[in-house]
Amino acid sequence: MPNGSGSMQSRDNKVYSVIDIGTNTCLLLIATIRENKLIKLFEAQEIPRLGKDLYKTGIISEEAFQKTLSIFNKYISHSKDFNSEKIFAFGTSALRDANNGSEFIEFIESECGIRIKIISGEDEAKYSYNGSVYDLEISKDYAVIDIGGGSTEIGYRDGGIIISDSIDIGSVRIYEEFLKGNINHRNIETAGEFIESKISSLECITGGRSFVGVAGTITTLSALKNRLKEFDEGIIHKDILNLPEIGKIFEDLISMTEEERIGLAGYMKGRSDIIISGILILTKLMEQMDIQEITVSVKGLRYGLFLNIPDFI
């Protein structure tokens, strides 16, 4: 698995776009490589929530089809503004799981000309690792936790090889199955037991490593801890969260109504319902893997995919 460094030189000054289509979000990164460094030119986030009702119906809804198409057209426009040479689009858990995933991919390609590539959970963990740690302190040995809407990935480097694992628990999936319409202590306990049973299947050996967390659950936790009203990458990236802080935020959030959670800040829109299940996953992972603190990264999968674009050209 390339780590993103070997083929950078050949891509100097070429601009590419990467779209990461998750279970909840659709993310855009437009970037280039200059002097062996990734330079971000533009980023965007939209929330089509492909995973809405997916784990009940088995299909991506027509509403999500149309929302995603609208987002893709917007991202194509942004890419043209930056003279992007090519747009690469990648699908993760929702598209791996949906019975109509291939229909969705054909629809997007026929409407706007972009072909979505579905990546496996294991590859998702590897690329997420690449993207999360590339600008962190190089002397440390990291393990990366990526809590998505439909799945959770863990990746770490061992002897030059990235070891990865993926489990089918995510903030949208757990919310839809256990908490939708009724976030109470009994349902949270049931969801927690289910999460613990899934975590027990992990085969990762992560002892002695520094943990890094990526994706919306952990960046939102950092924003809430720092009492931010708007998302501020400068404060959130490389922030450190510990278990007591996370537990306090969790208790505060479950005591609120969804309207109160939405009212906390602009970044809670589209996340006010699933943040509870996302934090529950993170807490159970930290408890079972004896993790006392975790460093926040705002980078993640889309950055790792960009660094490894030669894999897809």
Average pLDDT of every residue of the chain: 89
> Residue 246 in 3-state DSSP?
helix
Choose the weakest-confidence range: 167-181, 201-215, 224-238.
Answer: 201-215
Sign, Cα dihedral of 67, 73, 74, 75: positive
Q: What is the spatial distance between Cα 247 and Cα 151, in angstroms, rounded to a whole number?
A: 22
Q: What is the pTM of this model?
A: 0.84
Strand stretches in 171-292, DSSP E: 210-214, 240-242
Average pLDDT estimate for 13-39 = 91
Average pLDDT estimate for 126-131 = 89
Is the model's pLDDT at 63 over the cut of 90?
A: yes
> Is residue 144 a contact partner of residue 129, using CB atoms and an 8 Å limit?
yes
Per-residue pLDDT band at 310 (split at 50, 70, 90): confident
Average pLDDT estimate for 102-126 = 93
> Residue 138 in 3-state DSSP?
coil
Tell me which of 241 and 181 has the higher pLDDT: 241
Domains present along the chain, CATH in parentheses: 9-121+305-311 (3.30.420.40), 122-296 (3.30.420.150)
Q: What is the spatial distance between Cα 100 and Cα 106, in angstroms, rounded to a whole number?
A: 10
Per-residue pLDDT band at 204 (split at 50, 70, 90): low
Q: What is the spatial distance between Cα 223 and Cα 232, in angstroms, rounded to a whole number?
A: 8
Q: What per-residue confidence (pLDDT) applies to 8?
A: 44
> Is residue 85 a contact partner of residue 36, using CB atoms and an 8 Å limit?
no
Nearest 5 degrees, angle CA 158-CA 137-CA 43?
Answer: 100
Strand order in the sheet with 293-296: 161-167, 152-158, 142-147, 210-214, 293-296, 240-242
Average pLDDT estimate for 98-114 = 95
> In 3D, which of 221, 89, 91 has the Cα closest to residue 145?
221
Q: Which of 47-56, 80-89, 127-136, 138-147 has the highest mean pLDDT?
A: 80-89
Per-residue pLDDT band at 6 (split at 50, 70, 90): very low
Average pLDDT estimate for 116-145 = 87
| pLDDT digit string, tens, across residues 67-84 | 999 999 999 999 999 999
> In 3D, which of 147, 67, 138, 167 has the Cα closest to residue 107?
67
Tell me which of 37 and 10 has the higher pLDDT: 37
Choose the weakest-confidence range: 204-208, 248-252, 254-258, 275-279.
Answer: 204-208
